[in-house]
């Protein structure tokens, strides 16, 4: 009989058995998460009953805000403020590129010249990332006064911390083959970074930069609430003057701005991904 005609016997796959220790660890983790959420619930005074009972206040607020005031007296300054918000986000992103790239090279293991430099760069990035951009804005407002400039400075400081860390991780995740070949040939760290690492990760760096631009435009809106200019300042002013119809107009303009920036950055990231 030919071996090709022999019947194939399928053996049953034994069921996977869970170890008692693994099950116990899972239950402990679930119980710990439950306890943490209960503590957080009580610490933040979460009460859906209070939310339901406050429907009348929300209804009055919406009644005063709808319909929005779309007169040019309100819409003109709103569009101008939205443009300033966009410029704050743009400058806060692009002006942070040199410092972000320099710190990323110092905070990546393959390009850091020494261990203490690596740790120092990581520490500086952690500090810049830990301090909220709103805090930076308040500091710079006291230094240079109200307006868009402190917002730009605040975004630069915070964005250097975030983008430097993201870029450093991108450099560390790059294919080590070309860098190893150059290192074997006697190339220095800067030569390895310039000719091996950066060319490989440039599309990813550009994609992260566009993502941060999207985030920074949103952040610049919040910075306007503390006096850093832009349409956020107009929203805060409308709330203080109880002009809720004007506030709704500004919010609608912000919505259009955010959607446009999000679509544009997503399109460019997609093009970069396709090119790479």
Q: Which structural domains are found in the chain, ordered by start?
A: 71-275 (1.10.3720.10)
The half-sphere exposure of 238 on its side-chain side, counting CA atoms within 13 A, is 23
What's 15's DSSP letter? P
Token pair 């400075």: residue? 153
Confidence (pLDDT) at 5 = 59
User: Rounded to two decimals, what is the model's pTM?
Assistant: 0.77
Number of other CB atoms surrounding residue 235 within 10 Å? 24
Smallest CA-to-CA distance from 250 within 66, 64, 83, 81 is with 81
Mean pLDDT taken over the chain: 82
Treating both helix axes as pointing N-terminal to C-terminal, what angle do 148-172 and 97-106 enclose, rounded to 10 degrees? 30
Confidence (pLDDT) at 12 = 66
CB-based burial, 145-169: b 16+ in 10 Å, e otherwise: eebbbbbbbbbbbbbbbbbbbbbbe
Residue of 182 and 241 predicted with greater confidence: 241
Token pair 């503390």: residue? 226
Residue 213 above 60 pLDDT?
yes
Residue 64 in tokens: 């005063």
What is the torsional sign of CA 205, 210, 216, 218? negative
Q: What are the residues whose beta carbons fall under 8 Å from the beta carbon of 222, sequence distance 6 or more?
A: 133, 134, 232
Report, as an integer, the average pLDDT of 76-99.
90
Q: Which of 14-18, 89-93, 189-193, 229-233 has the lowest mean pLDDT?
A: 14-18
Q: How far apart are CA 233 and CA 227, in angstroms?
A: 6
CB of 133 closer than 8 Å to CB of 127 = no
Q: How far apart are CA 7 and CA 17, in angstroms?
A: 30
pLDDT band at 99 (very low <50, low <70, confident <90, very high): very high
Q: How far apart are CA 132 and CA 128, in angstroms?
A: 8
Residue of 190 and 78 predicted with greater confidence: 78
Chain centroid offset of residue 211 CA: 7
């Amino acid at each position: 009989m030919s071996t090709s005609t022999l019947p194939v016997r399928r053996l049953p796959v034994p069921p996977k058995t869970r170890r008692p220790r693994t099950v116990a660890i899972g239950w402990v983790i679930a119980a710990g998460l439950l306890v943490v959420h209960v503590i957080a619930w009580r610490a933040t005074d979460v009460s859906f009953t209070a939310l339901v009972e406050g429907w009348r206040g929300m209804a009055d607020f919406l009644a005063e805000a709808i319909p929005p005031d779309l007169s040019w007296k309100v819409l003109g300054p709103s569009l101008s403020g939205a443009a300033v918000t966009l410029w704050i986000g743009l400058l806060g992103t692009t002006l942070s590129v040199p410092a972000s790239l320099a710190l990323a090279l110092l905070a990546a293991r393959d390009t850091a010249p020494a261990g203490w430099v690596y740790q120092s760069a990581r520490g500086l990035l952690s500090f810049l990332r830990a301090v909220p951009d709103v805090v930076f804005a308040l500091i710079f407002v006291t230094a240079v006064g109200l307006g868009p400039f402190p917002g730009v400075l605040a975004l630069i400081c915070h964005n250097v911390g975030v983008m430097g860390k993201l870029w450093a991780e991108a450099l560390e995740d790059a294919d080590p083959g070309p860098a190893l070949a150059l290192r074997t040939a006697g190339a220095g760290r800067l030569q390895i970074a310039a000719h091996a690492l950066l060319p490989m990760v440039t599309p990813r760096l550009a994609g992260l930069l566009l993502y941060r631009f999207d985030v920074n435009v949103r952040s610049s809106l919040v910075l306007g609430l503390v006096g850093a200019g832009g349409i956020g300042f107009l929203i805060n002013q409308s709330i203080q003057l109880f002009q809720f119809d004007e506030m709704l107009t500004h919010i609608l303009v912000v919505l259009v701005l955010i959607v446009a920036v999000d679509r544009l950055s997503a399109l460019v990231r997609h093009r970069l991904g396709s090119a790479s």
